């Protein structure tokens, strides 16, 4: 895949550091960024097994839900999304993420939050899955061993010259893959978007035997899908400076954290840095809708 690698500058930061970003957001118009790679071998496996329906989990603003719906549609599968929260069952058509997924044929089942949290360990969820014939289950966020195998392919000989590889973290699959795919001299830095995400270190160690990664827990901005005016200002300033859009849930937080680490001297100035743009730009529309309701500044695209 010929994904462009571009130089960029950080707003408010003067540095001679080599800063590049790998535009995985451009790899596919819908199945973008890390979702493309995490679904690659899962789709292949579902075909090998002769499955007809892809089933997965996600929240109402999930990039994974849209990507999985589009990938299923493109590859001849039906798709079902088990969505967190029964409270939106009658108003999901007001949600831009879910309406987009529905255009690719995805059907939805809305699960109570306490049951959703348990996923396959919930008898409620298991009963749902038992009623869906000949399905292939893709985990929340797409993370499993096949997703890690795909994410490892984000790195190649073209990325050999970099010393530091950075990525946002949700379920940990992408950073696991980057750890697996990294060359011996490279270090991977993951920036979780979840609050209290210490558990992600254990998740990574399930998928990689390497000790070439660190997890920076400081830039979640309050938790998943939580944002601040400071983050919005940063994303907009970054866009105006580089003409590269960042999403507020994942890559925007990672890039803010990376700038802060450089400011604080936590990354040596001689290290060449490659940030991975993991896509997720479809979520901006729904976030801007929320921000307008709150009379907050919106994200420029």
Give the β-pairing of 5-7 and 19-22: antiparallel
The distance of Cα 300 from the centroid of its chain, to the nearest Å, equals 20
What would the mean pLDDT of 33-50 be, rounded to a whole number? 97
Residue the block writes with tokens 């950073």? 175
What would the mean pLDDT of 155-161 be, rounded to a whole number? 97
CATH numbers and ranges of domains, the chain: 5-29+145-293 (3.40.50.1100), 34-142 (3.40.50.1100)
Whether residue 247 has pLDDT greater than 80 = yes
What would the mean pLDDT of 156-160 be, rounded to a whole number? 97
What would the mean pLDDT of 49-61 be, rounded to a whole number? 96
SS3 state at 150: helix
- pLDDT band for position 149 (cuts 50, 70, 90): very high
| Tokens representing residue 107 in the block | 């059907």
Instruction: Give the C-alpha separation, 240 to 104, whole Å.
Output: 33
What would the mean pLDDT of 167-173 be, rounded to a whole number? 95
Report which of 188, 181, 190 is spatially closest to residue 157, judged by C-alpha positions. Answer: 181
CB–CB of 38/174 below 8 Å? yes
pLDDT tens per residue, range 84-101: 999 999 999 999 999 999
- Under DSSP, the state recorded for 23 is -
SS3 state at 42: helix
Give the β-pairing of 107-111 and 187-192: unpaired
What would the mean pLDDT of 249-265 be, rounded to a whole number? 97
Instruction: Give the C-alpha separation, 124 to 115, whole Å.
Output: 7
Percent of the chain residues past pLDDT 90, beyond the cut: 93
pTM, two decimals, is: 0.95
pLDDT at residue 1, rounded to an integer: 67
Q: In what order do the strands lie in the sheet with 213-215?
A: 5-7, 19-22, 273-276, 164-169, 187-192, 213-215
Find all residues with CB under 8 Å of 136, minimum gap 6, and list them: 42, 45, 46, 49, 51, 53, 54, 55, 77
Whether residue 122 has pLDDT greater than 70 = yes
pLDDT at residue 231, rounded to an integer: 97
- pLDDT band for position 301 (cuts 50, 70, 90): confident
């Amino acid at each position: 895949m010929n994904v462009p690698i571009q130089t960029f500058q950080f707003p408010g930061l003067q540095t001679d550091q080599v800063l590049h970003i790998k535009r995985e957001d451009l790899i596919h118009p819908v199945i973008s960024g890390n979702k493309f790679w995490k679904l690659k071998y899962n789709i292949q496996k579902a075909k090998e097994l002769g499955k007809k329906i892809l089933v997965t989990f996600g929240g109402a603003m999930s990039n994974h839900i849209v990507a999985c719906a589009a990938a299923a549609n493109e590859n001849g599968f039906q798709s079902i999304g088990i969505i967190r929260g029964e409270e939106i069952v009658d108003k999901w058509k007001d949600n831009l993420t879910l309406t987009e997924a529905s255009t690719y044929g995805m059907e939805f089942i809305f699960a109570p939050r306490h049951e959703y949290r348990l996923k396959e360990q919930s008898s409620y969820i298991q009963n749902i899955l038992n009623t869906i014939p000949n399905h292939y289950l893709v985990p929340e966020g797409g993370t499993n061993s096949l997703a890690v195998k795909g994410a490892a392919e984000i790195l190649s000989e073209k990325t050999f010259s970099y010393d530091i590889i950075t990525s946002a973290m949700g379920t940990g699959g992408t950073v696991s893959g980057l750890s697996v795919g990294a060359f011996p001299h490279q270090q991977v830095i993951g920036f979780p978007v979840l609050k209290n995400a210490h558990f992600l270190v254990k998740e990574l160690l399930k998928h990689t035997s390497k000790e070439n990664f660190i997890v920076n827990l400081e830039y979640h901005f309050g938790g998943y899908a939580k944002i601040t005016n400071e983050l919005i200002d940063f994303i907009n300033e970054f866009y105006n400076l580089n003409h590269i859009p960042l999403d507020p849930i994942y890559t925007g937080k990672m890039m803010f954290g990376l700038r802060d680490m450089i400011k604080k001297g936590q990354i040596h100035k001689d290290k060449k840095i490659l940030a991975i743009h993991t896509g997720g730009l479809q979520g901006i529309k729904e976030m801007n809708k929320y921000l307008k309701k709150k009379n907050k500044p919106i994200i420029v695209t």
